[in-house]
């Protein structure tokens, strides 16, 4: 089977969608499937009109969609819709890494208006292109796509950090090591997190140290966290940019992870997926933007995800921390096999 992946500018290690396509292609090629990457980048003179006139020779075209990957304004325009018309008779897969903005309660009116325009363009594309398969990675996007009549289903996102086999020194059992990765969102209940960590320290008789790994695109969230942690004596350290092997080692040295991504969007976070695949329990939170009945959690990982909203969060975490075994999971292989089965 030959699959042509269409995405925005191809920038591995900088762009999450690029990392996703790179790792997925490697896994598919190991299984004797041919893969081609087609980058739409106006900076390099590659447009949807160019692609429409020269469609790839492939059994399946897989569009890896994120609005701002194809346009700084999040609107791809008429060329995107002409591309939809050109591929309407081809086997087409659409993977929504992101959908339209402003689809949450209390969103600013400008964001809602711009999101309305993005939604119109996306739905018109789906109508014209008539894709054979529509996937997304998270509950929020799935709920909103299905509410608009799209026949979308869930495809699990994998982590971008392969599990390292490098040996690491034994852990210091007197400390609970928590890890966070990437940019920390400002709309996260940091006060509740610090309160739960204080409860954890008291209940376990151990100190908690928070490690911040990876590139921080914006520092507001970190500054809030560090200030609150310092006030109660919780240790924090920043590691900065690390290689995938170093990140994996730091995850393996950790006892737990913290994600600032809301529960309904947790599935689109490659760092969260990496934590789960390494076997770590994760503290997250539910912001209530998606109805409870529409929340989708993988049965494989549901016991690893603990919510700040829950009163027994610390008790559940202690049970997991005391567990002797930590199972790991090859998410890339799982998604590749799932995709092959879907397309076959």
Residue 330 located in a structural domain:
no
Residues 106, 32: one domain?
A: yes
Residue 99 located in a structural domain:
yes
Which DSSP category does 140 fall into? H
Which residues share a beta bridge with 94? 63, 134
> Is the distance from CB of 221 to CB of 262 less than 8 angstroms?
no
Mean local confidence (pLDDT), 57-68: 97
Residues 262, 217: one domain?
A: yes
Q: How many domains are there within the chain?
A: 2
- Domain harbouring 95, CATH code: 3.40.50.2000
Write the pLDDT tens digit of every residue in 82-138. 999 999 999 999 999 999 999 988 899 999 999 999 999 999 999 999 999 999 999
Q: Which helix (H) or strand (E) holds 31?
A: none
Residues 153, 214: one domain?
A: no
Residues 228, 253: one domain?
A: yes
Residue 169 is predicted with a pLDDT of 66
The secondary structure of 67-90 as a DSSP string is HHHH-TTS---HHHHHHHHHTTTS
Structural domain boundaries enclosing 255: 175-321
The runs of H, that is alpha helices, within 148-263 are 190-204, 220-232, 244-253
Residues 152, 217: one domain?
A: no
Residue 264 located in a structural domain:
yes
Residues 284, 339: one domain?
A: no
174 three-class SS: coil
Residue 268 located in a structural domain:
yes
Residue 43 is predicted with a pLDDT of 79
Distance of alpha carbon 2 from the chain centroid? 26
Residues 22, 134: one domain?
A: yes
Kind of pairing between the strands at 175-181 and 152-154: unpaired
Write the pLDDT tens digit of every residue in 141-174. 999 999 999 999 999 999 989 888 877 667 778 8
Residues 155, 8: one domain?
A: yes
Residues 150, 179: one domain?
A: no
> What are the tokens at 159?
């982590």
Residue 170 located in a structural domain:
no
C-alpha triplet 264, 259, 254: angle, nearest 5°: 140
Residue 168 located in a structural domain:
no
Residue 279 located in a structural domain:
yes
Which DSSP category does 92 fall into? E
Residues 234, 139: one domain?
A: no
Residue 326 located in a structural domain:
no
Residues 269, 128: one domain?
A: no
Of the candidates 181, 188, 195, 186, the one whose C-alpha atom is nearest the C-alpha of residue 228 is 195
Residues 116, 194: one domain?
A: no
Confidence of residue 33 (pLDDT cuts 50, 70, 90): very high
């Amino acid at each position: 089977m030959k699959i042509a992946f269409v995405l925005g500018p191809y920038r591995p290690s900088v762009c999450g969608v690029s990392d996703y396509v790179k790792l997925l292609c490697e896994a598919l090629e190991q299984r004797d499937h041919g893969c081609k990457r087609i980058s739409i980048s106006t900076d390099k003179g590659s447009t949807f009109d160019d692609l429409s006139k020269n469609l790839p020779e492939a059994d399946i075209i897989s569009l890896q969609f994120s609005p701002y990957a194809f346009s700084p304004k999040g609107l791809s325009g008429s060329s995107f819709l002409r591309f939809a018309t050109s591929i309407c008779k081809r086997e087409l897969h659409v993977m929504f890494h992101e959908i339209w903005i402003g689809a949450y309660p209390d969103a600013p009116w400008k964001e809602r208006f711009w999101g309305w325009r993005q939604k119109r363009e996306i739905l018109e594309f789906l109508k014209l292109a008539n894709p054979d398969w529509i996937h997304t990675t998270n509950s929020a996007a799935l709920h909103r796509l299905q509410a608009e009549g799209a026949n979308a289903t869930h495809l699990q996102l994998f982590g971008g950090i392969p599990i390292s086999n490098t040996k690491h020194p034994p852990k210091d059992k007197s400390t609970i090591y928590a890890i966070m990765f990437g940019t920390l969102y400002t709309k996260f209940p940091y006060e509740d997190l610090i309160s739960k960590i204080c409860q954890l320290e008291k209940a376990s008789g151990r100190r908690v140290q928070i490690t911040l790994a990876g590139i921080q695109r914006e520092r507001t969230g970190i500054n809030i966290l560090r200030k609150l942690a310092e006030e109660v004596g919780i240790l924090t350290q920043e590691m900065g940019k690390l290689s995938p092997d170093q990140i994996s080692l730091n995850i393996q040295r950790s006892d737990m992870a913290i994600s600032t991504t809301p529960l309904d969007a947790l599935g689109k976070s490659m760092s969260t997926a990496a934590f789960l695949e390494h076997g770590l329990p994760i503290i997250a939170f539910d912001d209530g933007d998606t109805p409870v009945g529409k929340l989708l959690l993988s049965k494989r990982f549901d016991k690893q995800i603990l919510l700040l909203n829950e009163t027994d969060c610390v008790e559940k975490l202690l049970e997991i921390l005391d567990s002797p075994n930590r199972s790991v999971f090859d998410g890339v292989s799982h998604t590749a096999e799932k995709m092959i089965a879907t397309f076959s």
